[in-house]
Structure 1
Amino acid sequence: MEVAQLLLSGVSYRELVKAVGTAILFEQLLSRGKGAIQNSTFQAQVKTTGGFLLLYAFARSWLRLVSHYVPEPYLDEFFHIPQAQTYCEGRYLEWDDKITTPPGLYFLSVAFHKLWMMQCTVYSLRYLNITATLSIALIATRCHALVTARISGRGNGHSSASFHTGLNIALFPVIFFFSALYYTDVVSTLVVLLAYENHLLRVGPQRPDFLNGIWTVVLGVAALCMRQTNVFWVVVYMGGLEAAHAVRLLSPPPVEPPKGPLSFAEHIRFYVWRDSVGDMHDPQLNAAWPEDWLFCLISIGIAAVCNPFKVLRQVWPHITVLGLFVGFVAWNGGVVLGDKSNHVATIHLAQMLYIWPFFAFFSAPLLLPSVVPFLLAPFRILVSTSQPKTGEKPLVVQMINKFYYMPYILGTIALSLAIVKFNTIIHPFTLADNRHYMFYIFRYTILRSIKVRYLLVAGYTLSRWFVWNTLAGTPSVDFPTVSGEAKEKPAKNNANKTSSVSPGPPTSTALFWLLATTLSLMTAPLVEPRYFILPWVFWRLLVPSWSPAADIQSVLPNSKWAGKLKIDPRLALETIWFLAINAGTIYMFLFRPFYWKSSDGELLDDGKVQRFMW
């Protein structure tokens, strides 16, 4: 009854204006995304407004429950909230040495409270993250529209799929959970998305002007002021993509490969020459084999070295941000502020194993087009081997043609086993703090036995295949491969066949995403779901849409549903899945508290209530 009264209590008009007004202010003043969303219909605007208000109602209800049951600062808020209140009082030189992240969140909090003329209370500081969550939905919508336009080559108008994607990103459980607590993660994600939207507007047919370069530096520095590891996204990921874009703008005229018998050296000279003039090897990800990944990186490197001034003209803002970051590290004596002893950078490659089941769990609805064919793979292999279609190579023959493919798969599995054996790091915080879900995940998996650790490699491998194929957008995957089945060009009579999946990103985009993800995770000894937020957000923005109509048509030609299911049903399933996870974590946090007790039953931590959280 008490919960119902809290949820049904009237919505404060003033609070709504603060949240929505500030979110729109972020969008208009900070994103500067002119033309990012155009040609939206009245129906689309109504759906957008309705979804936006529902998100606000859900987030505000969550905040009201937290404020009622947890009115005092909890866990990391114990450090963040007093520091923000110190800044609100104008004492900017006072700093808590236990805080490891820069003061960007606190400066933004001061501006937010001065804008609406409020006092810095626990409730008002938490409310800032409600505003940031709404802003994430808006900016992620714009980013998805721009990403789709870049990949498909079509217009950048508003679409219901883009808005639904932005809404789901805001509902992502690890983001949404912290929307009612005063943590850095939500605002940090927002600022990085603002930088990403600006990047997407920079990679157009015209080179960006100098003022936009200055704005790019400002957004990059703002991202670093929120969290130091954001350097990998605003410099490595976005800077790498802009370097590839600069190479792509060279647009050399096509040249036929040399004919006749050529030596290996002559072949090398020809392709190096083509790379040097900007003929970059960058196929769509669903048409790329592992050697294409290597050739893509080599071609970008050769083109950048041979055209340094054109590349520097595009990426100088990112180099400037990197220089400022290096200067900060030299001045600070390290990357981490404050408590350096518990945050020592190390090589933790096992993080790149854990990320795939993390993605597979949260994005399970998106993996359906890859998982279902995998379950049918034995039957399809038999059919394709015994009765291949005219002009179509059986799957087994395709696999054999790539002679290195099976050794490649075995090599990745062997590498995973080696990482498990030699580089499994268990941080003391993971073992000591039973308030976090990661404590129980480790306890019932990795810490059970060595055999279980090795058996988990199968789960890491399958998750990686499914996640990568989902990113590639490979339709009707016969087997969880590296998305190389589409390597051969389709026959002319199939050229107009409708694909069930939109084009995936270019190979270079996926590789720069993987590089930034690796750099941001492998230096962290502590396994935290919050560290996976940005890798997931950028992956989610790149995932192509899927229409089941073509797949149903191929299986059931006369089905009445074949022409009706033109939208991506995974979006609705993703929303339902996220709502279910959020409801579960909200319930555990609010209504399943516990106390720390010693072996003789004495209350520890001064008898404070402990709560489960990410």
Structure 2
Amino acid sequence: MVSETVSEPYLDEIFHIPQAQKYCDGSFLEWDDKITTPPGLYLFSYLLKKAAEAGGAPWLFSCDASSLRVTNVLGLIVLASLALLCRHEIESRFYEAQSSTHLRVVSTYSIHTALNTALFPLLFFFSGLYYTDVISTAVVVGAYLNHLKRVSRDQSSLVSDLGTILMGISALLMRQTNVFWVVVWMGGLEAVHAVKTLRPHHVDQPFMTTLTDQVKFYAWRYSVGDVHDPPLDLAWPDDMLFTTVSLGIAALCNPVRVARQVWPYISVLFAFASFVAWNGGVVLGDKSNHIATLHLAQLLYIWPFFAFFSAPLLLPYVIPILNMAKSMFHPPRLGGQGARSSQPSTTFISPEPSCSVQSLKRPESSNVKETLTTTSQSALETPTTESPSSALKAADFIFNSTFTPWISYILLTIVASVVIVRFNTIIHPFTLADNRHYMFYIFRYTIRRGTLIKFMLIFPYTISRWMVWGTLAGCANCMLSSNRYNVNETAPYTSYPLWIARGTKTRQTDLEYPKDMSQVASSWKPKNSELEVVLKNDPLLISAEPASTSTGLVFLLATTLSLITAPLVEPRYFIIPWVMWRLLVPAWRVHDHRIVEPSFTGVTSESPVGKAKEIFKRYDMRLFIETLWFLAINVATGYIFLMNPYIWKDENGRILDDGRLQRFMW
């Protein structure tokens, strides 16, 4: 339909299509200086042409505008397949930590996630045109799949290392900014993986009276690989700080192990640096309009972008609001649950149960619920011969209080947002010069409306960031959580440096590190049938596991580096960050929330509510809404692009651009 309605190259296609046709003719040394991205897309089209000729059907791919656009249609299909495999691999890592077998069945959540990734409006829209975005994203997702397979074992092979280098260079041939996703994102995650393969023995923590002793003890534990990296749904702002510190110490103390894992990514970085030195800059062709500029405001714009397109995934935030309203009319009893104790309580206490998947080694869910109102009073009341020093008490008070970490985090982010808006709001000339892009109107009716509006936008920036990050954490109780996680709900990588070993508890967690799949013992076999039964009754179990704190932090770092050097605000720059975020978003089980659970009590399976309960237990209903949302956006933007063209005219009514039809697009 696009080729029938828009038969001639449109907008950036007037550069891409002629260049691709030169490559199809074998003229690899001819280059249009107005093109700033590498020739990966054109090489891919050239290979398709050669494949068609080798198959005896050269008419299948003739390198005209229509057939070149088919390149991105194929790319979108490949991207959806790779997204499915990536999501399956993410779920497999959790499954294999509990079982001696590989996860063979692909979950419905993985399938639906892949479908919605392909329907993502920007990817779907540009799959009908000859732009670099779809193929570039597919190559990066392919490299990410390779990374997921590499971290499923303790050590990678030489063949895997060489393949990683090849995939990394292939990604760079598509877009220069892919270096951040290959080197920083995947390389950073593999550095974390290398540290975690150390798997030191858990040790009992002595009761220490000084802050210096506490710091020395945890510095030693971090140096041997006993890092602090809780799941995102249990992480507080200070957890993110200590995760960074612990991983940094572990990497510095184990450089050989880390280097052995990440050397392919270092090689890709070296290749990229060599290209920059040879080219005299990052950008090919015209460098005057693509000068790297520090543009921190991009880190504010990305969150409303995510929130708009992923609005259906943010629906769980309605429940905490209802819960808050309910608590206003029925306030909970006060029972010592107001502070984050440095002692391990028996469970993570929050207004709602945690959404993280519970290990089979943990208590049954009913037992967990019974312990929600208990705390480790025996541990608190056990006398110790000495009391902590003033410095240790002060640190304990600051970091283990209920409000200090969150208030500090909120104030810092708001102040940073104000400073960025005041001093680093950059409006590129291209943004205001072309009214064919939706971004022109977004800027015109928001940021360009005046200084007050510009600062008022900090509120939606902050709210959308909070919701998007909470969705990545996998549960909707983030804003109401009031207590630190504890031994029953932690991950094995829990080593909080200001946890004081008083009383009967000498360890923060007794959970084991994920096992090495190459050393699986036969003793795991009886557990497989138990896990299969659990998954049969609760198919969303493995899909609901959130990412680790380190994964979230590395994602944030890669996103930051890929955006802040771009002076132009372009929605297409947000595609890969969104795809990676979307692949990591865990499933949501509505019945996990306490405010919803009473609605399902006492209902029969034959009643409408009972049938709804069974559906909610097996499917993440947000994904169906997300599909409809994406389809609605795609239909609307596609209709506007194809059916509502217009002609440029100046203020005096004279026709511009030779009367060519202009069309609205992303």
Partner of 1:42: none
Structure 1 letter corresponding to 2:38: P
Partner of 2:80: 137
- For the residue of structure 1 that corresponds to 2:74, the secondary structure is helix
Q: State the TM-score, normalizing by the size of structure 2.
A: 0.78
Partner of 1:520: 562
Partner of 2:20: 84
Structure 2 letter corresponding to 1:251: R
Partner of 1:420: 421
- Report the CA distance between 1:564 and its aligned residue: 3.8
Confirm whether residue 507 of structure 1 aligns to residue 559 of structure 2.
no
- Range that drifts further, 353-362 or 397-406: 397-406
Confirm whether residue 591 of structure 1 aligns to residue 643 of structure 2.
yes
**Per-residue Cα deviation, 1:11-69 (whole angstroms, up to 9, x for no partner):** xxxxxxxxxxxxxxxxxxxxxxxxxxxxxxxxxxxxxxxxxxxxxxxxxxxxxx11111
1: CA distance, partners of 2:234 / 2:563: 28
- For the residue of structure 1 that corresponds to 2:79, the secondary structure is helix
In structure 1, runs of 5+ residues without a counterpart are 1-64
Structure 2 letter corresponding to 1:455: M
Partner of 2:340: none
- Matches of residues 195-344 of structure 1 in structure 2 within 5 Å? 195-259=143-207, 261-344=208-291
Contact preservation (8 Å) 1:286, 1:484 = no
- For the residue of structure 1 that corresponds to 2:217, the secondary structure is helix
- Report the CA distance between 1:384 and its aligned residue: 4.4
1:562 to 613, 620, 623: 613
Structure 2 letter corresponding to 1:604: L
- Matches of residues 96-135 of structure 1 in structure 2 within 5 Å? 96-117=32-53, 118-135=61-78
Report the identity percentage: 54
- For the residue of structure 1 that corresponds to 2:651, the secondary structure is coil
- Report the CA distance between 1:90 and its aligned residue: 0.7
Partner of 1:487: 485
- Matches of residues 144-223 of structure 1 in structure 2 within 5 Å? 144-151=87-94, 153=97, 155-157=102-104, 158-223=106-171
- For the residue of structure 1 that corresponds to 2:602, the secondary structure is coil
Structure 2 letter corresponding to 1:533: I
Q: Point out which structure has higher relative CO (alpha carbons under 8 A, 6+ apart).
A: 2
- For the residue of structure 2 that corresponds to 1:282, the secondary structure is coil
2: CA distance, partners of 1:491 / 1:603: 67
Confirm whether residue 603 of structure 1 aligns to residue 647 of structure 2.
no
RMSD of aligned alpha carbons: 2.5
Partner of 2:463: 462
Partner of 2:579: 537
- For the residue of structure 1 that corresponds to 2:616, the secondary structure is coil
**Structure 2 vs 1, CA of residues 306 and 389 (structure 1 numbering), >3 Å: closer, same or farther?**
closer
Over alpha carbons, which structure has the higher Rg? 2
Structure 1 letter corresponding to 2:62: Q
In structure 2, runs of 5+ residues without a counterpart are 54-60, 338-345, 352-396, 491-510, 512-533, 604-609
- Report the CA distance between 1:151 and its aligned residue: 4.1
2: CA distance, partners of 1:459 / 1:164: 29
Residues paired across the two proteins, number: 543
**Structure 2 vs 1, CA of residues 557 and 431 (structure 1 numbering), >3 Å: closer, same or farther?**
same
**Per-residue Cα deviation, 1:416-467 (whole angstroms, up to 9, x for no partner):** 1111111111010111110000001111111111111111111011101110
Confirm whether residue 70 of structure 1 aligns to residue 6 of structure 2.
yes
Contact preservation (8 Å) 1:188, 1:226 = yes
2: CA distance, partners of 1:491 / 1:274: 21
Structure 1 letter corresponding to 2:601: P
Contact preservation (8 Å) 2:75, 2:135 = yes
Partner of 1:575: 627
2: CA distance, partners of 1:506 / 1:477: 15
**Structure 2 vs 1, CA of residues 162 and 183 (structure 1 numbering), >3 Å: closer, same or farther?**
same
Contact preservation (8 Å) 1:287, 1:485 = no
- Range that drifts further, 548-557 or 103-112: 548-557
1: CA distance, partners of 2:418 / 2:301: 13
1: CA distance, partners of 2:404 / 2:650: 60
Q: State the TM-score, normalizing by the size of structure 1.
A: 0.84
Contact preservation (8 Å) 2:236, 2:405 = no
Contact preservation (8 Å) 2:162, 2:264 = yes
- Report the CA distance between 1:415 and its aligned residue: 1.3
